[in-house]
């Protein structure tokens, strides 16, 4: 079910790509695939090298103060506001949640707004937080007819489970573009449009285990979460796990092998939604970096009818 109120706010063109630090360092193919899809459907977008990380990781782990987070992201908003393509589109749910939180705070707190505007004035930037903030999966959903019209492949016969990022569904929970915060359907509806069979699993709403503070301060908690998540996913028997978060794909892809000693072999490919959509539009696996994944994707690619990657 589409959330018409949320979807009505999704811009249909002129995107300002907001790049992810985790995607850029660990899975660069995620954003290569995003550009591939946007080029195929012929929309306008900017790939501005001047914007910085949202620093959400530092903010959520408590090592960056709120005032710094606000000033830094006010600068990011200012860059987008001055661009031809002003609609910010994030590949990372943490960037999405952090930018929206900064915008919300600055819109409501006059003192913080004045202090932040003063910081921008010192560096020669105008204070303008007007650009909208969306996640790339919402853009894909909003432009789904245009995307499927360019499809050259199908996911018919493929079984998948979806995992939506908690910073997408559980911070601004009313803004989930399809479904709701307890049962988001953004990824489900995109994959179904290509013929994919989405299968259920009991721990669908459970976090991937990354939880920034827990990841840095204690390893046992994230590992126990991952065990529960993967035990449930394995029971569902999917061909692929589909995500919308670079951090989630890191956790779900990297740690499968290390969990084998406690819950047995898993070996399920994990794809970010842009990688899956780019494949459907004709991208080659190595062209979008699928050979950089930890869990090999060759078995999945063969089921889709694509020649595998080289390791």
Which of 194, 193, 191, 153 lies closest to 305, judged by CA?
Answer: 153
**From CA 75, how far away is CA 79, in angstroms rounded?**
6
Phi-psi region of 247 (alpha: psi -120 to 50; beta: other; left: phi over 0): alpha
pLDDT digits (tens, 9 = 90+) for 136-161: 999 999 999 999 999 999 999 999 99
> pTM of the predicted model, to two decimals?
0.94
Contact 18/51 with Cβ under 8 angstroms? Answer: yes
What confidence score (pLDDT) does residue 62 get? 85
The sign one gets for the Cα dihedral 70, 71, 72, 73 is: positive
- Taking only the tens place, the pLDDT of each residue in 233-289 is 999 999 999 999 999 999 999 999 888 888 888 999 999 999 999 999 999 999 999
């Amino acid at each position: 079910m589409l959330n018409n109120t949320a979807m009505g706010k999704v811009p249909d063109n002129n995107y300002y790509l907001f790049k992810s630090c985790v995607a850029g360092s660990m899975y660069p193919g995620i954003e290569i695939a995003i550009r591939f899809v946007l080029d195929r459907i012929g929309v306008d977008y900017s790939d501005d090298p001047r914007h910085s990380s949202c620093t959400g990781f530092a903010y959520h782990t408590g090592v960056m103060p709120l005032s710094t987070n606000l000033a830094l992201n006010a600068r990011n908003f200012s860059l987008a506001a001055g661009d031809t393509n002003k609609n910010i589109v994030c590949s990372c749910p943490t960037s999405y949640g952090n930018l929206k939180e900064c915008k919300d705070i600055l819109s409501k707190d006059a003192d913080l707004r004045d202090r932040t505007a003063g910081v921008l004035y010192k560096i020669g930037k105008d204070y303008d937080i007007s650009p909208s903030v969306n996640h790339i999966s919402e853009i894909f959903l909003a432009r789904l007819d245009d995307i499927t019209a360019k499809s050259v492949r199908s996911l018919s016969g493929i079984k998948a489970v979806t995992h939506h990022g908690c910073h997408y569904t559980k911070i601004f929970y009313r803004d989930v573009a399809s479904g709701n915060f307890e049962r988001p359907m953004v990824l489900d509806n995109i994959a179904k449009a290509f013929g994919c069979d989405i299968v259920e699993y009991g721990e669908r709403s459970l976090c991937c285990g990354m939880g920034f503070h827990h990841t840095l301060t204690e390893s046992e908690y994230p590992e126990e979460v991952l065990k529960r998540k993967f035990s449930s996913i394995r029971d569902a028997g999917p061909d692929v796990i589909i995500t919308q978060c670079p951090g989630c794909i890191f956790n779900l892809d990297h740690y499968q092998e290390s969990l084998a000693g406690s819950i047995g072999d898993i070996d399920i490919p994990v794809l970010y939604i842009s990688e899956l959509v780019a494949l459907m539009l004709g991208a080659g696996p190595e062209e979008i970096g699928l050979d950089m994944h930890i869990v090999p994707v060759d078995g999945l690619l063969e089921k889709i009818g694509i020649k595998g990657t080289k390791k």
